[in-house]
Chain A
């Protein structure tokens, strides 16, 4: 394809990659280029991981990825244009068709939907610069909007109205209605006794001094005096399990990585895209140094010198705060070649997601960082054996990691004394939907659904059901309100803790509408790689529509939905397909939908 690249696009890509050093990679052709071949397969493989950042840079310049920009990026990185296009079209936040310089992504997902998001989108949908969006992880600030702005930072808009959104679309600066607000009502109330969230909202997230005054970096100093083996032992003693949904013991995971013996890498999964989940966002926005410190300790424990932090593209403010913290930490010798004169070297790189729920799946996340489509890999091999760039990889969720300083400071045993024997320690829950004070709440493991709803100010209305664990989780009825939200109790009850979403729905809820939205979500977010999920999510949505509006098929829609769910559960490559029918099945079982048909 012969196309022109604008100066703005070229400059944006060059800012990321540096100027091209020869005609072989997109520069001006010189006489020398005719005699000396540069580049080649090896060099191309080494820079492929810059593909997504380069596409994001080009789009950031003019608002979309034009053929000219794609062509230039392909030259710069020696990526075939068809491959670059394949990656660009994988991400919802990238556009390969011309778009206005500002585009509003209006959340119409399960949580915002009950708080005006649906009406907001309906009001604006005719505009060519407004698109619907899956959950933006701003459920405490509904209705939420992500504003993409060419040439400027993207911005999250909260408590949006049609007028406030149109104002920004037409050039106004986004106004932060509550600058110190990070979605943590407990700290806003000045609540003491918090161990993970105590700094969020209480300190300036840009200030290292503030962080240090609030006991920040004490854990890193202590950790560096321990051996990595002692550190891993301490983590194992704490009994902490992963908070990202899979509940795998962190210490065991790390041991498996260390056992590989070769140069490992640390990845922090901050691609928090499960609808109704926003706990990691609050931490990154309000207490970014705690994540930097935790990742540094984790890197030391497993012997990694590189850490990647993959933040979802819908979190521009979290990314800015963490990026600032990284720079400040580097300047203070808390990252780099010789951290606190210990001889240990470690640094962290931020990667931004492009609008793809599937990239929260660990192996899809690796592919995304490596510059490929965010398609999950078949396991085995597991990340500990061959993860990012094929290296032994420890991948942990933000919330899991920020427990680390606490475990180091008070010891694994003291940490394990909290919660229950199988679910040790402290847990963050995301309360949204029909509650008075939506937000992130910190409790010791063992709190019940009812207690959490009370903590969030109680229900807005009579509760009909609670969505537990996000849309990949399940609905539970009011008879389960006294269920303790521990790994073991939820497992026994046949539900999943997932990402600790607790979303009550009142008795006035239109569950037909909510389950349709959930089906649409999975149909949108399936990567399309394997058949059960690619087609199953489509058939599931269709069957659901027929269940509500007809006409019926011979098998019967309930039976069909169950068969589709089973096929996705057993046959899909990854957890997205395995759980894509879960919430709908639970809604049928509870009689929330389909009862009278």
Chain B
């Protein structure tokens, strides 16, 4: 494949044909903010924080999906790009709880001097189920001077993970991971329309009544902490979650012969979360229920150095 010649912020660059603008920018050392983009998922172009200016285009274009063309003149830091990104972040931060976004995202928000309070104080939270019951094409008028948000109670309907849609920016990543990009389970989709769009099972039934297989791949791709291990959620609620004290140990899942790599997040000598490296050739960051949640038996074993092996094995078999 031949290379394409273009300019990024005035500097000439040569990038492989078929690359996206985002890939081109990153190859040239000019990182861009992203929210709905992930290397392992199909770009959905929905968050619009990665937009850039392309000479000749009336509107800004999403760098995550737009493929480079010969002679493209790309600006990643023009006034229009800066202002639009700032507004998009402000739209999100004024409507969604973004307190658990990745550090990088927070840095971008600081970079663009994001001030979500400009739109006025937040309206009261929606009661449980209220947002799920909204009908497309209808909404109540704004409450005097208040700013509508997606705030609502956390959904807890199973032992393994929680869904805190007050933190959902609707990036579609969980839908893609549950669907054709990873798990092919299709337990969730975006339902409703406009600001009332939400991630939902059919008729908003509990996950335990849905097609969910608890692989947790939706948690793995969620960029805002809306989807979270129950263990993490409860530790956070008890103000015991201490990420900086956690160690991460990479190992191979012992449940079958596929060879998925696991990252065990350990705090106070307990496993509190399991992830998989996104660049691992076997998993691309995805796991199944056993690898993701089947770690309890490890904690039942006691000290491996002093426990006889038959006790270790017996405990493993019964867990």
Task: List A residues at the B interface (Cβ < 8 Å).
Answer: 1, 67, 70, 74, 80-86, 89-92, 95-97, 131-132, 134, 355-356, 373, 378, 516, 520, 523-532, 534-539, 541-543, 545-546, 549-551, 553-555, 560, 563-564, 566-567, 569-573, 578
The contact of B87 among A520, A541, A553, A567, by CB within 8 Å, is: A567
The contact of B194 among A1, A131, A378, A523, by CB within 8 Å, is: A523
- B136 adjacent to A539 (CB under 8 Å): no
Separation of A132 and B196 alpha carbons in the complex (Å): 17
- A566 adjacent to B83 (CB under 8 Å): yes
The contact of A570 among B46, B60, B136, B148, by CB within 8 Å, is: B60
Interface string of B99-128 (1 = CB under 8 A from A): 000000000000000000011100000000
Separation of A543 and B202 alpha carbons in the complex (Å): 34
Closest to B80 in A: A570
Separation of A83 and B187 alpha carbons in the complex (Å): 8
Residues of A within 8 A of B88 (CB): 531-532, 567, 571
- A95 adjacent to B45 (CB under 8 Å): no
B144 in the interface (beta carbon within 8 A): yes
* CB proximity of B298 to chain A, nearest CB, Å: 33
Nearest first, the 4 A-B pairs at minimum CB distance are A92-B137, A528-B197, A80-B186, A86-B189
- A82 and B187 in contact, given A560-B118, A560-B119 (Cβ under 8 angstroms): yes
* CB proximity of A132 to chain B, nearest CB, Å: 7
B122-156 at interface with A (beta carbon < 8 Å): 133, 135-139, 141-142, 144-148
Residues of B within 8 A of A560 (CB): 118-119
The contact of A373 among B46, B60, B190, by CB within 8 Å, is: B190
Most buried by A among B188, B191, B196, B203: B203
- A83 adjacent to B120 (CB under 8 Å): no
- A571 and B59 in contact, given A82-B202, A95-B135 (Cβ under 8 angstroms): yes
B200 in the interface (beta carbon within 8 A): yes
- A378 and B84 in contact, given A526-B194, A537-B195, A539-B119 (Cβ under 8 angstroms): no
The contact of A134 among B49, B137, B186, by CB within 8 Å, is: B137
* CB proximity of A586 to chain B, nearest CB, Å: 19
- A83 adjacent to B133 (CB under 8 Å): no
Among the stretches B9-17, B204-212, B217-225, B245-253, the one at the interface with A is B204-212
Residues of B within 8 A of A356 (CB): 136-137, 193
Separation of A531 and B139 alpha carbons in the complex (Å): 18
B268-289 at interface with A (beta carbon < 8 Å): none
Residues of B within 8 A of A523 (CB): 139, 194-195
- A92 adjacent to B138 (CB under 8 Å): yes
Separation of A201 and B190 alpha carbons in the complex (Å): 44
Separation of A254 and B135 alpha carbons in the complex (Å): 39
B32-77 at interface with A (beta carbon < 8 Å): 44-49, 51, 59-60, 62, 65-66
B241 in the interface (beta carbon within 8 A): no
What are 13 residue pairs bridging A and B, where the CB atoms are less than 8 Å apart in the complex? Answer: A70-B203, A92-B136, A378-B65, A525-B137, A528-B170, A529-B46, A531-B46, A531-B88, A534-B194, A538-B195, A545-B141, A560-B119, A571-B59
Starting from the known contacts A83-B186, A89-B193, 8 additional A-B residue pairs (CB-CB under 8 Å) come to A74-B202, A82-B211, A528-B190, A531-B91, A532-B87, A566-B84, A566-B87, A570-B84
- A553 adjacent to B118 (CB under 8 Å): yes
* CB proximity of A167 to chain B, nearest CB, Å: 25
The contact of B60 among A74, A81, A571, by CB within 8 Å, is: A571
B228 in the interface (beta carbon within 8 A): no
Residues of A within 8 A of B144 (CB): 545, 549-551
* CB proximity of B165 to chain A, nearest CB, Å: 14
Separation of A158 and B200 alpha carbons in the complex (Å): 38
Separation of A387 and B59 alpha carbons in the complex (Å): 21
- A81 and B51 in contact, given A526-B195, A539-B94 (Cβ under 8 angstroms): no
- A531 and B194 in contact, given A520-B139, A560-B118 (Cβ under 8 angstroms): no
Separation of A537 and B148 alpha carbons in the complex (Å): 11
Closest to B64 in A: A378
Residues of A within 8 A of B210 (CB): 1, 82
Residues of A within 8 A of B135 (CB): 89, 92, 95, 97
Closest to A131 in B: B138
Separation of A67 and B138 alpha carbons in the complex (Å): 22
Residues of A within 8 A of B169 (CB): 531
Residues of B within 8 A of A80 (CB): 186-187, 189, 211
Residues of A within 8 A of B194 (CB): 523-528, 534, 537
Residues of A within 8 A of B261 (CB): none
Residues of A within 8 A of B195 (CB): 523, 526, 528, 534-535, 537-538
- A132 and B138 in contact, given A534-B194, A571-B48 (Cβ under 8 angstroms): yes
Separation of A123 and B69 alpha carbons in the complex (Å): 58
Closest to B204 in A: A85
The contact of B202 among A85, A355, A563, A564, by CB within 8 Å, is: A85
- A542 adjacent to B190 (CB under 8 Å): no
Residues of A within 8 A of B120 (CB): 542, 546, 551, 553
- B136 adjacent to A572 (CB under 8 Å): no
- B91 adjacent to A86 (CB under 8 Å): no
Residues of B within 8 A of A528 (CB): 170, 190, 192-197
Closest to A90 in B: B193
- A355 and B137 in contact, given A567-B87, A569-B59 (Cβ under 8 angstroms): yes
Separation of A528 and B139 alpha carbons in the complex (Å): 14
B201 in the interface (beta carbon within 8 A): yes
- A534 and B197 in contact, given A81-B211, A97-B135, A572-B59 (Cβ under 8 angstroms): yes
Separation of A80 and B212 alpha carbons in the complex (Å): 11
Separation of A373 and B44 alpha carbons in the complex (Å): 14
Closest to A524 in B: B137
- B142 adjacent to A82 (CB under 8 Å): no
* CB proximity of A327 to chain B, nearest CB, Å: 32
Most buried by A among B49, B135, B141, B194: B194
Separation of A61 and B261 alpha carbons in the complex (Å): 52
Residues of B within 8 A of A131 (CB): 138
- A531 adjacent to B92 (CB under 8 Å): yes
The contact of B136 among A74, A355, A567, by CB within 8 Å, is: A355
Separation of A578 and B60 alpha carbons in the complex (Å): 11
Separation of A96 and B134 alpha carbons in the complex (Å): 10
Separation of A1 and B208 alpha carbons in the complex (Å): 10
Interface string of B162-206 (1 = CB under 8 A from A): 000000011000000000000000111111111111001111010
* CB proximity of B83 to chain A, nearest CB, Å: 7
Closest to B118 in A: A555
* CB proximity of A474 to chain B, nearest CB, Å: 17
Residues of B within 8 A of A532 (CB): 48, 84, 87-88, 91
Separation of A90 and B202 alpha carbons in the complex (Å): 13
* CB proximity of B241 to chain A, nearest CB, Å: 28
- B189 adjacent to A542 (CB under 8 Å): no
- A535 adjacent to B91 (CB under 8 Å): yes
Closest to A527 in B: B193
- A542 adjacent to B203 (CB under 8 Å): no
Residues of B within 8 A of A92 (CB): 135-138, 193
Separation of A516 and B146 alpha carbons in the complex (Å): 16
Closest to B196 in A: A528
Residues of B within 8 A of A571 (CB): 48, 51, 59-60, 84, 87-88
Residues of A within 8 A of B60 (CB): 570-571
Residues of A within 8 A of B191 (CB): 82, 85-86, 89-90
Residues of B within 8 A of A573 (CB): 45-46, 48
Residues of B within 8 A of A567 (CB): 83-84, 87-88, 91
Residues of B within 8 A of A520 (CB): 139, 141
- A82 and B200 in contact, given A566-B83, A571-B48 (Cβ under 8 angstroms): yes
Residues of A within 8 A of B188 (CB): 82
* CB proximity of A577 to chain B, nearest CB, Å: 9
Separation of A91 and B186 alpha carbons in the complex (Å): 20
- A553 and B192 in contact, given A97-B133, A378-B45 (Cβ under 8 angstroms): no
Residues of A within 8 A of B95 (CB): 535, 538
* CB proximity of A211 to chain B, nearest CB, Å: 36
Separation of A270 and B34 alpha carbons in the complex (Å): 37
* CB proximity of B50 to chain A, nearest CB, Å: 11
